[in-house]
Amino acid sequence: MNYVREAWYVAGWSHELATGMPYAVTILGEPIVIYRGASGRLAALEDRCVHRLAPLSLGRCEGDRLRCMYHGLLFDPDGSVVEIPGQDKIPPQARVRSYPAVERHSWIWIWMGSAQRADEALIPPAVGLDHPDYILGHGHLDYAAEARLINDNLLDFSHLTFVHLQSFQAGPEFAAIPGRITPLERGIRYERWTENSTGPASLKSDELVDRYMSYDFLIPGVLLMTGGVFSPGTAQACGHGIPDLAEADGGVTFTSQAVTPLTARTSRYFFSWGPHRAHGDEAHRDVLMGIAGQAFAEDKVMIEAQQRVIENTANPVIMPTAHDRGVTLFNRLVERLIKEEECARADAA
Amino acid sequence: MNYVREAWYVAGWSHELATGMPYAVTILGEPIVIYRGASGRLAALEDRCVHRLAPLSLGRCEGDRLRCMYHGLLFDPDGSVVEIPGQDKIPPQARVRSYPAVERHSWIWIWMGSAQRADEALIPPAVGLDHPDYILGHGHLDYAAEARLINDNLLDFSHLTFVHLQSFQAGPEFAAIPGRITPLERGIRYERWTENSTGPASLKSDELVDRYMSYDFLIPGVLLMTGGVFSPGTAQACGHGIPDLAEADGGVTFTSQAVTPLTARTSRYFFSWGPHRAHGDEAHRDVLMGIAGQAFAEDKVMIEAQQRVIENTANPVIMPTAHDRGVTLFNRLVERLIKEEECARADAA
Amino acid sequence: MNYVREAWYVAGWSHELATGMPYAVTILGEPIVIYRGASGRLAALEDRCVHRLAPLSLGRCEGDRLRCMYHGLLFDPDGSVVEIPGQDKIPPQARVRSYPAVERHSWIWIWMGSAQRADEALIPPAVGLDHPDYILGHGHLDYAAEARLINDNLLDFSHLTFVHLQSFQAGPEFAAIPGRITPLERGIRYERWTENSTGPASLKSDELVDRYMSYDFLIPGVLLMTGGVFSPGTAQACGHGIPDLAEADGGVTFTSQAVTPLTARTSRYFFSWGPHRAHGDEAHRDVLMGIAGQAFAEDKVMIEAQQRVIENTANPVIMPTAHDRGVTLFNRLVERLIKEEECARADAA
């Protein structure tokens, strides 16, 4: 698996983790148990007891600690064993890995790199379910496909014209005219103005308008997208740059999406979407979530089929097209960061 | 997989391929999409887009062309890309493999060798569903077993005595007395006279008769079988050779069967069977298809179990018996043709 | 698979094998067909025909012989082919392996080592369903886990405190105080006295009593356990040694359990349990079997989860604890016996 390790991966929805209920998740092929202790403290441990490799996620929370329910070893949130039934001395190797874990923007984020380098400033600025400005629906989908293929999908919106013919009804424009791609320090930015148009059939306006949409796609695989509808001439007036969303006539929404590699061939895809309070209500959110549900199912069919073809191809080689600029930039960034991590590890050793 | 490539493999029933509906099939482990364009032209392409390896079988037919519905590349029936959305220039490597494909005898045949050497004269002379002389039923079965095991089964009819005890009720004779085996240029011929007998319980005659049956088993794995019932003495009179089926008193039927290797461990088995118009009707055809359904299920249980044993055997070695002459001749022919193909490829290189 | 071969493995319940009905089982990864011939003779053969590797378990019993129902080869109980249809001469290599097989204590035992060394004295002294002193229920469970993990479980009863919190309600004592472990020639013995107590919640006494329990765990993976309830002071009086079960006030039961490795990652677990006739009846047996059903399901959840963790761990290393003495002694015995077998094979060669 070729993924950045020094990054925050979304492990789940914060509100779905009940206190004292261990939750098992696999990230980058590593089994992890996450639990919220009695004090409210979040912990994420290697989900594998040091004794005989039973999963700690079948264990029992005791205060802020977690007990393996096979032979009773008790673990501190830092991963160290603090009790071995029937034995007084606890050997120093009696510990499992502990992962930095943070709850923010309604998600549980796990740092997969070295704990000393965990930097909360690197958590992507997603919009949480409790954000005062937005009315958001949310969900997740499991993929029988590697995360990179989902990232690639999200980095090239020309697929909207073809894959989402039924759901977004985005029309030929996404494939005909590339968006503007800008490199970011930890990702890429995609921007698109559509001028003097009634827009896609699924989100049609009554009059001719200018539409702006923009997303940042950030390490390790987080898409944050917004946009809005403006009076004709706005695109021109701001030189096709970033408009002030507060000036939008309508249609401002926000979607946060996160792709988490579970194993080499499976992924979990988290998402929320909904209107700005000034431009919609719960009913509008439900319409958007209905469209999203259809669209994400269309992606899943295509990407899982693509995964199966790749698995059955001895030497899978791709042929990038003009629309692949975002894909290529992002994947090069991933390669560079992985190389830097390897160098840092070599230096440390 | 040890199969001849310079041969026509059955990919499906011709009448089941609707115009404009791409159909996915795997032959010799290669994913293939087959479609009939608006003009009626049949095309068979590698089912894997050059861009990002999405399956073209999820695509959309446009006239005689096929569009990948991931990012919209458009393919000609010859496999070349003729349109890349958002990009003017089409690089020369933008093409997928195209397979020679022919509809004949109700089947779609795919040539798996080099296109230049595709020779329609090598299509086995199966009897199609529209043949004026026969009233045929048809079907197909998927096997969790390699095609060679099904070929071996069809090449040794001594199994009728044991596997088909219930269905054909063929009696001890098939195991006791071998049929006559003759090598053909691209297969083997099996012939058997049964003299002065009422025949097998499932197809019993009222009086003593002579029965003739004969099949050709042809590269890559096609069985074509016929025979009939004659007045006693006919076998003697023709020196136990080939009788004139037009002189048969009754019981003339024809069955065409084709074994297609999908992957190393899966196969598809196509078949038709039915009486000559002079010797039966739709009701008789239905009786035959009922017997065949039971018999093919008996084969499938045995062959799939055999496959599982072979997979779990470190070094599977067989011990041929006297009845294996047809199996051995055919498999040697396969080996020889494969070697010739390898030499031809080496010469070409 | 790291298991002793010169040992008797349980292949099934004796009363479940009907005369003339071949039964397929895999032991140590080897496919075996077991059948009881017309004379009542038990036979166990390699389940793989020498001809084309079809499974003999799809065959037909004929007297004390077994006929392969693919092409009709007939096998003697000693594994030799005695008939090949259509062929007069039977080559000397026409034979499959025959396994020594014995019915005893209600189980069918198969010797997996060399037939010459098969020694019935090594069959563990299980208590059969027809034993006059006990009223026994019985069953079996299939595990998606290697047998060694089930053996390890049965060799360390500290897991009762944690895994069986709900079923046996054994309390903290099993984890707090180790039992007494004694090495045996082909296994280990576990013994435990609980003094002056009402006992575990699931088997509670009305008054304070002394309780004794003891099991032998024998090669290849057979647990034989008994025990009883005694008046207070009995433990002291016999120096915490073995009491005379005939003197027990009540609670004497017997359980026989056998773990059979099917493949490297699957196992079958056979068990019986019930009260001594003097201390219980059918109703009491049913209560015990209900508790056992719940407890064995608890073990299965934990052990199959443990297996999955081990499979997903690149280099699985365990950290034994004080309670692992029985596990360690038994696994060292297994290693020693395997080494002796290898030396004996090397000497023979």
The structural domains of chain B, with segments of one domain joined by +, span 8-122, 137-334
User: Across the interface, which of B54, B58, B84 has its CB nearest the CB of A321?
Assistant: B84
pLDDT at C204 over 80: no
Average of pLDDT values for C63-77?
98
Cross-chain Cβ contact C84/B322 below 8 Å: yes
Hey, which bits of chain C come out as E strands?
A: 8-13, 23-27, 30-36, 42-46, 60-62, 65-67, 74-75, 81-83, 101-104, 107-111, 137-143, 180-184, 187-197, 209-218, 222-230, 250-263, 266-275
Average of pLDDT values for C1-19?
96
What pLDDT shows up at residue A103? 98
What pLDDT shows up at residue C198? 85
| B302 neighbourhood in chain C, CB within 8 Å | 54, 58, 69-70
Report the percent of chain A where pLDDT is more than 90: 92
Average of pLDDT values for C124-138?
98
Helix and strand numbers (H, E) in chain B are 6, 17
Is the minimum CB–CB distance between B176 and chain C shorter than 8 Å?
yes
The alpha carbons of chain C give a radius of gyration, in whole angstroms, of: 22
User: Across the interface, which of B47, B50, B72 has its CB nearest the CB of A319?
Assistant: B50
**Residues C81-111 pLDDT 10s:** 999 999 999 999 999 999 999 999 999 999 9
**Cross-strand partners of C189:** C182, C216
pLDDT at B119 over 80: yes
Alpha carbon distance B157, B230 (integer Å): 22
Average of pLDDT values for A298-326?
97
pTM: 0.95
Name the minimum distance, in Å, from the CA of B176 to any CA of chain C.
Answer: 5
What pLDDT shows up at residue A204? 77
Residues 6+ apart with CB under 8 A from B103: B14, B42, B109
| C68 neighbourhood in chain B, CB within 8 Å | 162
Segment 278-307 of chain C within 8 Å of chain A by CB: 301-302, 305-306
User: Across the interface, which of C177, C309, C321 has its CB nearest the CB of A71?
Assistant: C321
Average of pLDDT values for A138-142?
98
Alpha carbon distance B257, B224 (integer Å): 7
Q: How confident is the model at residue A1 (pLDDT cuts 50, 70, 90)?
A: confident
The verdict on ipTM greater than 0.90 is yes
pLDDT at A199 over 90: no
**Residues B295-346 pLDDT 10s:** 999 999 999 999 999 999 999 999 999 999 999 999 999 999 999 999 998 9
User: Across the interface, which of A163, A176, A321 has its CB nearest the CB of B51?
Assistant: A321
As a whole number, the mean pLDDT across chain C is 96
C-alpha A94: how far from its chain's center? 33
Closest CA to C157 of C39, C4, C335, C325: C325
Q: Name subunits touching A (3+ CB pairs < 8 A).
A: B, C
Helix and strand numbers (H, E) in chain C are 5, 17
What pLDDT shows up at residue C301? 98
∠ CA C179-C180-C181 to the nearest 5 degrees?
A: 110
Please tell me whether residue A141 adopts helix, strand or coil conformation.
strand
Q: How confident is the model at residue B106 (pLDDT cuts 50, 70, 90)?
A: very high
Structure tokens at C322: 């004080």
The alpha carbons of chain A give a radius of gyration, in whole angstroms, of: 22
Please tell me whether residue B311 adopts helix, strand or coil conformation.
helix
| C83 neighbourhood in chain B, CB within 8 Å | none
Segment 57-116 of chain C within 8 Å of chain B by CB: 58, 67-73, 84-87, 91, 93-94
What pLDDT shows up at residue B169? 85
Q: Name subunits touching B (3+ CB pairs < 8 A).
A: A, C
Q: How confident is the model at residue A170 (pLDDT cuts 50, 70, 90)?
A: confident
User: Would residue C78 be called left, alpha or beta, if left means φ above 0 and alpha means ψ between -120 and 50 degrees?
Assistant: alpha
Largest CA-CA distance found in chain B, in angstroms, rounded: 78
What pLDDT shows up at residue B130? 96
As a whole number, the mean pLDDT across chain B is 96
Yes or no: say if C289 and C273 are a contact pair by the CB < 8 Å rule.
yes
| A310 neighbourhood in chain B, CB within 8 Å | 53
Cross-chain Cβ contact C53/B313 below 8 Å: yes
Hey, which bits of C135-265 come out as E strands?
A: 137-143, 180-184, 187-197, 209-218, 222-230, 250-263
pLDDT at A171 over 90: no
Average of pLDDT values for A148-169?
95
What pLDDT shows up at residue C228? 95
Residues in chain B, how many? 349
Q: What is the DSSP string of B19-64?
A: BT--EEEEETTEEEEEEE-TTS-EEEEESS-TTT---GGGSEEETT
Alpha carbon distance C131, C136 (integer Å): 9
What pLDDT shows up at residue A158? 96
**Cross-strand partners of B98:** B45
Average of pLDDT values for B181-188?
98
| A87 neighbourhood in chain C, CB within 8 Å | 321-323
Average of pLDDT values for B263-288?
97
Report the percent of chain C where pLDDT is more than 90: 92
Q: How far is CA A303 from CA A148, B22, B57, C22, in A?
A: 10, 18, 13, 47
Alpha carbon distance B308, C241 (integer Å): 52
Q: How confident is the model at residue A302 (pLDDT cuts 50, 70, 90)?
A: very high
Q: How confident is the model at residue A200 (pLDDT cuts 50, 70, 90)?
A: confident
pLDDT at B33 over 90: yes
Residues 6+ apart with CB under 8 A from C264: C1, C29, C146
Yes or no: say if B189 and B182 are a contact pair by the CB < 8 Å rule.
yes
Closest CA to C99 of C176, C156, C28, C159: C28
Q: Which CATH class is domain C137-334?
A: alpha beta
Is the C-alpha dihedral spanning C124, C125, C129, C130 positive or negative?
A: positive
**Residues B187-211 pLDDT 10s:** 999 999 999 988 777 777 788 999 9
Q: Report the run of H or E that residue B12 belongs to, with start and end.
A: strand B8-13
Phi, psi of A294 (to 5 degrees): -65, -45
What pLDDT shows up at residue A286? 97
Closest CA to B52 of A148, A187, A161: A148
What pLDDT shows up at residue A285? 97
**Residues A36-47 pLDDT 10s:** 999 999 999 999
Please tell me whether residue B16 adopts helix, strand or coil conformation.
helix
Is the minimum CB–CB distance between A246 and chain B shorter than 8 Å?
no
Top pLDDT among B173 and A44 is at A44
| B54 neighbourhood in chain A, CB within 8 Å | 302, 305-306, 309
pLDDT at C161 over 80: yes
Q: Which CATH class is domain B8-122?
A: mainly beta
pLDDT at C199 over 80: no
Q: How confident is the model at residue B8 (pLDDT cuts 50, 70, 90)?
A: very high
Average of pLDDT values for C181-187?
97
Is the C-alpha dihedral spanning C320, C322, C323, C326 positive or negative?
A: positive
